[in-house]
Amino acid sequence: MNSRAHESTAAGAVRRIRVRKLRRVVAVLAGTIGVTVIGCDVTNPGPVQDVFLNDKGSHEALVRGAERRVMDGVQRETAYSPIAATTREVFPGGDSNSMAPRVQGGALPEGQGNWNALQEARFIAEDALRRFAQPELQAEPRLLAQAHIWAGYALRILGENWCQAVIAGGPLQPPSAALERAEKHFSDALQGAANDAQRHAAYAGRAQVRLALKNWAGASQDAALVPLSFRLMVTPDPGIDLARNWAGYYNDNTPYRVFTMKHTFFEAYYPATGDPRVPWRTVAGFPFSGSRLTGYNQTPDGRVPWLQLMEEGAQKHYNPGTPVALAKGTEMLLIRAEAILTQTPSNWQQALALINQARASYVSLTTRKALEPWQATSLEDTWTRLKTERHIDGFMQAKRLHDIMRWTRDKTPGQHPWPNWEPLSKIFSSEKPFSTQGICFVVPNSERLANPNIPDDLVS
């Protein structure tokens, strides 16, 4: 072999080696790209993907999600201690972790937690209705009606307590937009109600909404269709932190004693009547609430005497598992009474009879007899009795803020119980009660910042 041929053979060998290397490189690259594209397909367990909620087995749990969020939304800042303190249902014990000092003084909290919960309740219920409208899903009529009921109650609470309404990321609207949407849901629920419990819940909700919309005839008509014994309760779960009754948690003395019944209307009313709806007690070894109230001048160190709130019936203290009523048969009587006082004031005695009918359905814990009836000698007197009775019957149910707002707005006669706290501490004079926009929650900043349909005019 000459040198040229040798070079040629050597060059060929080098080329062959390079070709083999190149093939290996291409094979490795192809494998790598394959892994890159195929290996990235992962389905993770845990969170439920949206499409799975169409499955029939998920429907009940979806509707219950709406119930859970209605329960969350009716407490916290609404039924729970801050708003209860602002509306003087309970007296603040000074704890600032659960009740900011401004709120102790009477300012409304921002209410973001309730807003989110109630909006989510509406969304879940209406999302369920959207799914159930697909015939192939074969949704149960009972669940369809129940979704309407929870959507209605979520919107009812939003419409009653917030100064403005926002529906599904839309613009600011008057609160009547939420109430009218609630009314429609209750009417739809009545169309498909599967049992009396659903029918009564829908009538009661629609009566509340029509009261708020000043449809007195409609409210009275619906209220009359609800039996006296009816109650629609949402029941918290004390075993789950986020699903508990928060006012109950802060009343639990482990170690919170955030509020007290001292200085409230009920401090004197309960011992005088034994009304089972608003009992309280003293607890040996714990004479004071858990903190100090700024400027409180009734004790040397600012600690407020602690009168612990009890559950209705006084079997145990108001606790993390205590249910909250959304609607009651007794409230329906009061709605009918108010309709009479508004529409036919001269029939005030008829209204008083309805108020006392509601009252007579409760047995005193001290006399073991039906509660004594209220006496009234005039229209104005009867209004005062109605307002007092709504204060008692709707206690810790997120009803009072709306009552005070509409009675103030409509300049109704009579007085509602409003204990004089100003001499007890300067904080009750330093804060303007309620919000700057009125006796209602403002749409929270979180909604204003995130919703492109609402200007970012933040509320401080």
For the segment 33-72, give every residue that binds other proteins (CB under 8 A).
33, 35-37, 39-42, 44-50, 53, 58, 61-62, 64-65, 67-69, 71
DSSP-derived letter for residue 284 is T
The minimum distance between CB 97 and other proteins, in angstroms, equals: 7
Q: How many other CB atoms sit within 10 Å of the CB of residue 79?
A: 27
> If binding is defined by CB under 8 A, does position 95 make contact with other proteins?
yes
The minimum distance between CB 255 and other proteins, in angstroms, equals: 5
> If binding is defined by CB under 8 A, does position 105 make contact with other proteins?
yes
> If binding is defined by CB under 8 A, does position 298 make contact with other proteins?
no
Candidates 142, 184, 281, 292: give the one binding other proteins (CB under 8 A).
292
Q: State the burial class of residue 364 (Cβ atoms within 10 Å of its Cβ: 0-12, 13-18, 19+).
A: middle
> If binding is defined by CB under 8 A, does position 288 make contact with other proteins?
yes
User: Which 262-281 positions form the footprint of other proteins (CB under 8 A)?
Assistant: none
Q: 């929870």: which residue's tokens?
A: 150
The minimum distance between CB 174 and other proteins, in angstroms, equals: 15
> If binding is defined by CB under 8 A, does position 150 make contact with other proteins?
no
For other proteins, the closer of residues 32 and 343 by Cβ is 32
Q: 């926002």: which residue's tokens?
A: 166
> If binding is defined by CB under 8 A, does position 94 make contact with other proteins?
yes
For other proteins, the closer of residues 124 and 386 by Cβ is 124
> If binding is defined by CB under 8 A, does position 395 make contact with other proteins?
no
CB contact at 8 A, 293 and 85: no
Binding mask 331-350 for other proteins (x = CB under 8 A): --------------------
**Angular region, 258: left φ>0, alpha ψ -120 to 50, beta rest:** alpha
For other proteins, the closer of residues 107 and 376 by Cβ is 107
Calculate the alpha carbon distances from 365 to 179, 272, 313, 317, 397 in Å: 37, 11, 7, 15, 21
> If binding is defined by CB under 8 A, does position 176 make contact with other proteins?
no
Helix axes 59-74, 141-161, angle to 10 degrees: 20
The minimum distance between CB 62 and other proteins, in angstroms, equals: 5
For other proteins, the closer of residues 178 and 404 by Cβ is 178
Name which of 132, 187, 188, 121 is nearest 155 in CA terms: 121
Is the bond leading into 255 cis (omega within 30 degrees of zero)? Answer: yes
Amino acid identity of 213? L
> If binding is defined by CB under 8 A, does position 136 make contact with other proteins?
no
> If binding is defined by CB under 8 A, does position 5 make contact with other proteins?
no
User: Which 106-135 positions form the footprint of other proteins (CB under 8 A)?
Assistant: 112, 115-116, 119-120, 122-124, 127
Binding mask 8-27 for other proteins (x = CB under 8 A): -------------x---x--
CB contact at 8 A, 408 and 76: no
Beta bridge partners of 292: 303
User: Which 218-247 positions form the footprint of other proteins (CB under 8 A)?
Assistant: 235-237, 239-240, 242-243
Q: What is the 3-state secondary structure (H, E, C) of 134-145?
A: CHHHCCCHHHHH
Rounded to whole angstroms, how far apart are CA atoms 431 and 106?
6
